Structure 1
Amino acid sequence: MRASEEHVEGAPAQITAMQGGWIKFLLGSFTVQDVILLVYLTVVRLLLAVQRQATADQVSCARTTELCIGVILGAVLIGRVIPGIPPIVRKIVYRVSIVGVLVQNYLVLRWLLPVVRPDSLDATLLRIDEAIFGREPALVLEALNVRPVVEWFSFFYFSYFFIGATYMIVGLWLTKPSRRTTAFAIGTLLVFSIGQLGYMVVPGYGPHQYLAHQFKGPINGGFFWGCVWDTVQAGSAMKDIFPSLHTAAPTWFTLHALHNAKTDRRWFWPAIVTGFFAANIIFSTVFLRWHYAIDVLAGLTLAFTVGALAPWIAKREEAWRLARGFRGAWVFD
């Protein structure tokens, strides 16, 4: 009888120990960057689930989101959990999965945004611009609609994609893994996750469509404007204006480079060059009629907020994982 009582009394302790083991396992396996992506994907899946009518686009977007969740979970398992996998395989699978899901999340927005928010808030955004500036800046800037000016800013607008790709390659593949890598991943995922959720909260088409009847004529562009137009028509989400990620992302990359330059002077000129490109890109978003000025202000707010938070979060996560004996976020040995 005594042995039986001891067994019963010991059971809660064993269960607690098992639960503690699972909690430790999860905390050690998932990093902040993983959680950011999984939270974003979960929110998107829930938004799709509450749609009353199951259209083909809704079903397709739901399946894509579920697949992305599976890819991230698989990347964590291969990268940090399953034993016996060569470190180089862990490294490649994890990085490719993170970047691949990030890109896929943007590409699916063309079909996802009309499902989640079929309406448009262009009128509200226009009123805000007019209240702040007196007149919509995109309409005022039409005075500069001459080919040399259009081509200059079209070049910079188009460079956004190359800047993003360059920072991804340098930040995740060519730089030795460190707290900087963690800060870059956290900051980039926060910018795009929050920004894309912003598209769902504040949907809009932008001045180029909503104010088309008020412009005196089309954009007077050449080669680079053609590149911009073809790219937007081929891959844009169409209702992705608030906040302006063409503003937020290059501004965040500039802030990341400036932060790194404080301890590594090799980042100084990349920060200056990125900042120059960012300034031109920001102006181009309104000049080329894609964004309202309030979209730009929201993008700047997002970038500077993330610029302050990402290094702080990365520093504390590193200390937290080290204190508990967990491997670093980018250690795959």
Structure 2
Amino acid sequence: MKTSTVGSLQKLGKERLKDLLYQMILIRNFEEAVEKQFMQGKIHGTMHLCIGQEPTAVGACAVLTNEDKITSTHRGHGHCIAKGSEVKYMMAELLGKETGYCKGKGGSMHIADLEIGNIGANGIVAGGLPLGCGAALTSKKKDLGFVVVCFFGDGATNEGAFHESVNIASAWKLPVIFFCENNQYGMSSSIKEMTNIENLADRASSYGIPGVTIDGTDVIAVMEETQKALDRAKNGEGPTLIEAKTYRWRGHSKSDARKYRTRDEEHDWMTNRDGIKLFKERLLNEGIITSEEIVEVEEKVKKVLDEAIEFAENSPEPSLSSLEEDVFA
């Protein structure tokens, strides 16, 4: 499993490193904030939080441009933020307000922001992969130059859509990166009970493309491997399968009591393998950032989220007259 190399931080520069930290803290605090809103009955339905998985979204999206695209998952708030969406419009969407990205009609699992290349989250497991291949085919046929990153979880690798998408992307050398966030559990079952291989990235060899397994808690390692895959795709060499090993701190959804895993396992990941904590320590140990600067980043995040919540709560509900708008059939 690949981790970032010594000296990787220095070449990125202090401001970019601070931005990576800001993005990860923003995602975590956003998820904690919407969890609180859900518990207060302000958000309806269910919710799939990505707390613990922040480095995968931030690291992968950090090397993309607005022209590059992503497809997301039911656990997609982090992808949305990392790609550049504004949290106030995300918060409004989750609260079902008309100022949200999808006018309050998409909710948690269907946020899209086409202006910055987020084709959309998807409530169907592996549902984003065929969409990503379609966008990548458009890029290739029209010589548009953009690359698509398809995010999906470990459970999606056992879906037919995964295998069909990887196969056709390989055969047609599409500019797409298949990014598997292996958080160890497909809903309530361990990935070890569902597959007979140690690393899901090994499946790439069946389709004649590179596959790499990386430490999903290491934001720099995620950036480095995504950049390699991005360069390969832009050079016309086709797709790459990246597997980032990570962990979701919360249950699969808000109705999940997590009876299928131990509290000791959770404590180990939260205490010893927290990507944000490890990144802070690394920045401090290498003298790139001070404790005071970390506090400044955290205070900036708090201010942004306070404003987002206020904006969302004060936004109007969608009018009844808009009920049939944006309906295609």
Q: Looking at secondary structure, tell me which structure has more helix per residue.
A: 1
Q: Does TM-score exceed 0.5, indicating one fold?
A: no
- Length-normalised TM-score, structure 1: 0.23
Q: Looking at secondary structure, tell me which structure has more strand per residue.
A: 2
- Length-normalised TM-score, structure 2: 0.23
- Pick the structure with greater CA Rg: 1
